[in-house]
């Protein structure tokens, strides 16, 4: 308590002194003003909000939007945070004026360290380095032709998943879903990232250090409020943060160096191995990249940061979405049965797997995936955007370096766009093409929109369709007797089920 009291007093005195000086500073009323927002005491208000979960803050924001309008200012740190819930303004900012709204703010102290000084795709400033990193990922790894080369990996991971579910079911207990989804997705992304098929012990070790960084992330946010001071007063917590970062590096670096050695040996022996099948991994593409501004290759720490981003961005979002979709298929068995009947019209009797090339023949499957992403987006906000100079959006001033947040869930639940928005109705997507990129119009944006749209949205859709189809093709999923499926939420890294899904499964008679 003494440390917190000292921090509070020190920062409060500084803030009050600055406010006192501002009273006597000449100022002119600007033609545009900041969006409206609640009155929050400097510093004290920030510390108060730090104790609340993201979902608690989201409820407050919804109430403020109803009172103040679709754009509000909310101070959650040293910079103002602008929250936008209007889909038209989101399109205006991120699509029509994408070059203005596509950068990031200067990262916090802990984020800079975790991202190799903002050398990841999600954290980089809008510019040559960001373009290089994103183009490398989208053209070398996520391009449909390249993604197809990983089909054997998806089939292998599917078998792991089905085996785990079958083993749990054989005991007579209901299967637990989310942990198995997370492990399966992580296995798949590790193979895509590092190229080599690692054993379970190695995968578990990578998963352990990555999960530790995610779970402890919120605890380290306090370190960013005045780093020079917290490094003295919260020295132990800083040590914990650095320990977690070092553990990630200690686990990943040997694997990256081993892959580098494989590449070097392959190049030396290439004339003798022309017929050898080689599956390109994400690490392979990073080893020879040249940063355009600095005219150098990526450092090992920067490569580790990019690998961390690749693994974490694709694991939790996909496994979270899978759980929400399967929860609704358990809760509404008539939807599950309708999907199974659609698959029976496409997949031959006796086949063990729904193949990737068959997925496009299943419009109801795609409708279920889209409805799952609309009703239960794994992230209720996109990563904050920023602008390099003051701009006007609608009738409000958006100041330079403000954190600009777009409320994903709010847009997907807009009653003006979606009839009965809180119900799960896949039929609303049937009979028409739907542009999830929001390039023409924003109705929902689970992957973001514009230049900073999630580069892996196409791969994510493939994974969701493939795994949902095969889970339903192989098993009938039923709710636990006397237990209604609870769709209440909680925040971890993504917005997950507060009470994780459990279900009874029985093999389909095909």
pLDDT in tens, 284-322: 999 989 999 888 999 999 999 999 999 999 899 999 999
Length of the chain: 510
Find out whether 326 and 424 touch, Cβ atoms under 8 Å.
Answer: no
Average the pLDDT over each of 42-56, 228-242, 245-259, 364-378 and give the range with the smallest value.
42-56
Q: Is the pLDDT of residue 52 over 90?
A: no
pLDDT value at residue 49: 62
Q: In whole angstroms, what is the distance from residue 256 CA to residue 283 CA?
A: 7
Cα distances (Å, whole numbers) of residue 242 to 203, 231, 256: 22, 12, 20
Closest by Cα among 369, 376, 378, 364 to 423: 376
Task: Give start and end residues of each alpha helix (H) in 332-357.
Answer: 333-344
Mean pLDDT value of segment 26-33: 59
Q: In whole angstroms, what is the distance from residue 302 CA to residue 292 CA?
A: 15
Q: What is the dihedral of CA 191, 378, 241, 134, to 10 degrees?
A: 60
Q: Is the pLDDT of residue 18 over 70?
A: no
Find out whether 394 and 365 touch, Cβ atoms under 8 Å.
Answer: no
How many Cβ atoms sit within 10 Å of the Cβ of residue 267?
9
The string of pLDDT tens digits covering residues 374-413 is: 999 999 999 999 999 999 998 999 999 899 999 999 999 9
* Residues paired with 429 in a beta bridge: none
| Mean pLDDT rounded to a whole number for the chain | 89
The string of pLDDT tens digits covering residues 423-446 is: 999 999 998 889 999 999 999 999
Going by their DSSP bridges, the two strands 396-398 and 403-406 should be labelled as unpaired
Q: In whole angstroms, what is the distance from residue 225 CA to residue 12 CA?
A: 12
Q: In whole angstroms, what is the distance from residue 344 CA to residue 118 CA?
A: 48
Residue reference for tokens 């909310």: 74
Query: pTM score, two decimals?
Result: 0.90
**pLDDT band for position 455 (cuts 50, 70, 90):** very high
pLDDT value at residue 1: 42
How many Cβ atoms sit within 10 Å of the Cβ of residue 129?
18
Q: Is the pLDDT of residue 83 over 80?
A: yes
Cα distances (Å, whole numbers) of residue 361 to 205, 342, 346: 39, 9, 7
Mean pLDDT value of segment 119-130: 96
Query: DSSP code of 106?
Result: P
Going by their DSSP bridges, the two strands 403-406 and 80-84 should be labelled as parallel
**pLDDT band for position 54 (cuts 50, 70, 90):** confident
pLDDT value at residue 41: 60
pLDDT value at residue 30: 56
pLDDT value at residue 14: 52
Vertex 57: Cα angle to 52 and 63 (nearest 5): 140
**pLDDT band for position 170 (cuts 50, 70, 90):** confident
Mean pLDDT value of segment 53-65: 84
Closest by Cα among 291, 281, 276, 246 to 260: 281
DSSP one-letter string for 491-509: ESSSEEESS--EEEEEE--
350: left (phi over 0), alpha (psi -120 to 50) or beta: left
How many Cβ atoms sit within 10 Å of the Cβ of residue 176?
15
Q: How far is CA 135 from the centre of its chain?
A: 19
Q: In whole angstroms, what is the distance from residue 198 CA to residue 154 CA?
A: 15
**pLDDT band for position 479 (cuts 50, 70, 90):** very high
The string of pLDDT tens digits covering residues 341-350 is: 999 999 998 8
């Amino acid at each position: 308590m003494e440390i917190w009291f000292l921090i509070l007093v020190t920062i409060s005195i500084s803030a009050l002194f600055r406010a006192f000086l501002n009273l006597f500073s000449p100022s002119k009323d600007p033609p545009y003003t900041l969006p409206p927002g609640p009155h929050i005491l400097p510093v004290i208000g920030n510390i108060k909000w730090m104790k609340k979960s993201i979902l608690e803050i989201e409820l407050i924001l919804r109430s403020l939007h109803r009172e103040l309008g679709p754009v509000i200012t909310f101070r959650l740190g040293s910079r103002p945070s602008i929250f936008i819930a209007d889909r038209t303004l989101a399109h205006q900012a991120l699509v029509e004026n994408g070059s203005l709204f596509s950068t990031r703010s200067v990262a916090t102290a802990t984020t800079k360290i975790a991202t190799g000084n903002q050398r990841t795709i999600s954290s980089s400033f809008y510019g040559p380095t960001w373009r290089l990193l994103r183009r490398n990922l989208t053209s070398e790894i996520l391009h449909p032709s390249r993604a197809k080369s990983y089909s054997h990996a998806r089939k292998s991971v599917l078998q792991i998943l089905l085996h785990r579910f079958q083993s749990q079911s054989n005991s007579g207990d209901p299967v637990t879903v989310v942990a198995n989804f997370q492990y399966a997705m992580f296995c798949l992304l590790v193979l895509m990232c590092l190229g080599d098929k690692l054993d379970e012990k190695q995968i578990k070790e990578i998963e352990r250090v990555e999960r530790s960084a995610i779970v402890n992330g919120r605890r380290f946010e306090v370190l960013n409020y005045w780093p020079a001071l917290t490094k003295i007063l919260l020295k132990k917590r800083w040590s914990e943060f650095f320990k977690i970062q070092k553990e990630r590096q200690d686990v990943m670096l040997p694997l990256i160096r081993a892959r580098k050695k494989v590449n070097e040996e392959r190049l030396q022996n290439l004339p003798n191995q022309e017929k050898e099948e080689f599956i390109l991994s994400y690490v392979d593409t990073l080893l020879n990249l040249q940063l355009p501004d600095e005219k150098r290759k990526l450092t090992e720490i920067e490569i580790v940061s990019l690998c961390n981003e690749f693994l974490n961005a694709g694991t939790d979002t996909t496994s979270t979405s899978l759980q929400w979709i399967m929860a609704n298929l358990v809760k509404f068995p008539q939807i599950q049965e309708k999907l199974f009947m659609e698959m029976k019209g496409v997949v031959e009797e006796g086949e063990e797997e729904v193949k990737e090339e068959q997925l496009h023949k299943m419009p109801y499957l795609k409708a279920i995936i889209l409805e799952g992403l609309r009703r239960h987006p794994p992230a209720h906000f996109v990563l904050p955007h920023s602008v390099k100079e003051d701009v006007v959006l609608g009738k409000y001033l958006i100041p330079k370096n403000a954190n600009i947040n777009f409320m994903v869930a709010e847009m997907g639940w807009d009653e003006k766009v979606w009839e009965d928005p809180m119900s799960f109705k896949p039929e609303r997507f049937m009979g028409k093409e739907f542009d999830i990129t929001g390039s023409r119009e924003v109705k929902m944006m689970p992957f973001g929109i514009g230049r900073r749209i999630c580069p892996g949205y196409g791969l994510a859709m493939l994974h969701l369709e493939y795994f949902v189809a095969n889970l339903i093709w192989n098993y009938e999923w039923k709710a636990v007797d006397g237990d209604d499926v609870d769709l209440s939420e909680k925040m971890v890294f993504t917005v997950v089920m507060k009470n994780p899904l459990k279900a009874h499964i029985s093999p389909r008679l095909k």
